[in-house]
Chains A and B, each alone.
Chain A
Amino acid sequence: DAGITQSPRHKVTETGTPVTLRCHQTENHRYMYWYRQDPGHGLRLIHYSYGVKDTDKGEVSDGYSVSRSKTEDFLLTLESATSSQTSVYFCAISEDRSAKNTEAFFGQGTRLTVV
């Protein structure tokens, strides 16, 4: 299995509070991604990173920010959590852009509930 660790695995938080999810990889892959998975919507890309300090928005980036200060860590922050951000969040890694020549590997997910 690819070395991807997400933390925490489960979190319950209150509306309006900031939340940070962490993705840690041991594969030294260049690309890292944050997706959310919701019933009826499948997996949707929030943000992605193509190197240290290099990040860009995905299709559902509003209300989220990311940071990548080291190759191995990619943080997703909900600045002020809302109930619509209740979801399962997945981190993914790949060696190449869009996993063009290599596979994308996913973490085990973080289940976030905003009450």
Chain B
Amino acid sequence: KQEVTQIPAALSVPEGENLVLNCSFTDSAIYNLQWFRQDPGKGLTSLLLIQSSQREQTSGRLNASLDKSSGRSTLYIAASQPGDSATYLCAVGSSYKLIFGSGTRLLVRP
């Protein structure tokens, strides 16, 4: 059974810092991996999608990497801003569904 874990559960950093969020999964037979952002009381916003054949994707200050063999993905956020404060979720595409981690709650302090 696929399990997705995100560490740390919560993170607090000062503005301007570069940071890395981690996601690990137990079964390497995935279709893709997707990173989402969720603001309090809101839905999920897709940030980056990495296909299983890809190693990384970039969008602006965000860079996501995927290492299927080790069952890991990282989301790198450069020059963090208070507006980046949110919960970040990773999800692996497996069979007919997305399987989610529990998320990392990020606070960027001004």
Which residues of A are interface residues toward B (Cβ below 8 A)? 33, 40, 42-45, 48, 50, 56, 58, 90, 92, 97-109
Interchain residue pairs with CB less than 8 A apart (9): A42-B103, A50-B96, A90-B43, A99-B93, A103-B46, A104-B34, A106-B36, A108-B42, A108-B43
- B32 at the A/B interface (Cβ < 8 Å)? yes
Contacts of A50 in B (CB 8 A): 96
Known: A42-B103, A45-B97, A48-B96. Is A100-B43 also a contact (CB below 8 A)?
A: no
Nearest 5 Cβ contacts at the A-B interface: A106-B44, A108-B43, A43-B100, A98-B93, A100-B31
- A98 x B43 contact (CB < 8 A): no
- B81 at the A/B interface (Cβ < 8 Å)? no
* A to B contact number (C-beta, < 8 Å): 65
Contacts of B36 in A (CB 8 A): 106
Selected from A40, A90, A98, A106, the residue in CB contact (under 8 A) with B97 is A98
- A43 x B89 contact (CB < 8 A): yes
Known: A42-B102, A103-B49, A104-B34. Is A98-B44 also a contact (CB below 8 A)?
A: no
Q: Please name the residue on chain B nearest to A109 by beta carbon.
A: B43
Q: Please name the residue on chain A nearest to B30 by beta carbon.
A: A98
- A56 x B103 contact (CB < 8 A): no
Contacts of A106 in B (CB 8 A): 36, 43-46
Residues of B in contact, count (CB < 8 Å): 24
If over half of B's interface residues share one DSSP class (helix, strand or loop), that class is named, otherwise mixed; here it is strand
- B42 x A109 contact (CB < 8 A): yes
Tell me the complex Cα distance, A43–B101, Å. 8
Contacts of A43 in B (CB 8 A): 89, 91, 98, 100
Q: How far is the CB of B96 from chain A (nearest CB, A)?
A: 5
Tell me the complex Cα distance, A101–B51, Å. 7
Contacts of B32 in A (CB 8 A): 98-101
- A100 x B93 contact (CB < 8 A): yes
Q: How far is the CB of B9 from chain A (nearest CB, A)?
A: 11
